[in-house]
Amino acid sequence: MKYKNEFTMTVKSLSENESFVRSSVAAFCLPLNPTIDEITEIKTAVSEAVTNSVVHAYPDKVGDIVIKVKLSEHDILISVTDYGVGIDNLEKAIEPFFTTKPEEDRSGMGFTVIESFMDSFKLERNKGAGITVHMTKHIGQANTQMVGDENAWAR
């Protein structure tokens, strides 16, 4: 797969950085000419991934969140990586309404929202600590090559 463009950014796990990341990723994918609905879905998914890192990965400290974005002809690939406490049970974490912080009125729908708005979604444990959320969104209907491509991030 040939990528037309890509960028990487690192932000601190502060809640005020969520809107900056969301807006940056949305602006970066504009050359693909996404619809308003596609932009909204991308922004929401990125927001959920970053918010999960802020709230869950670094509960008692501030850490780094690394966002990588790649654009191909009709696809945007996004990864959100933290190096925090990680997730013990990835299968349980993606179940609707599961939350490790019910006392904070968390709905437990973050990964469900990401999965519903993106064409592919995968959680991966990092070597060392933390997790990476991989997401792919196909823009338009002309090309379906990237959707579900398990090896896209290895390239």
| Residues catalogued as catalytic | 48, 52, 106
**Cα 16 from Cα 66, distance rounded (Å):** 15
Token code pair at residue 80: 């959100």
DSSP string, 65-119: EEEEEEE-SSEEEEEEEE-SS--S-HHHHTSTT--S-GGGT--S-HHHHHHHHSS
Q: Is the CB of residue 105 less than 8 Å from the CB of residue 54?
A: no
Tokens 């879905």 belong to 41
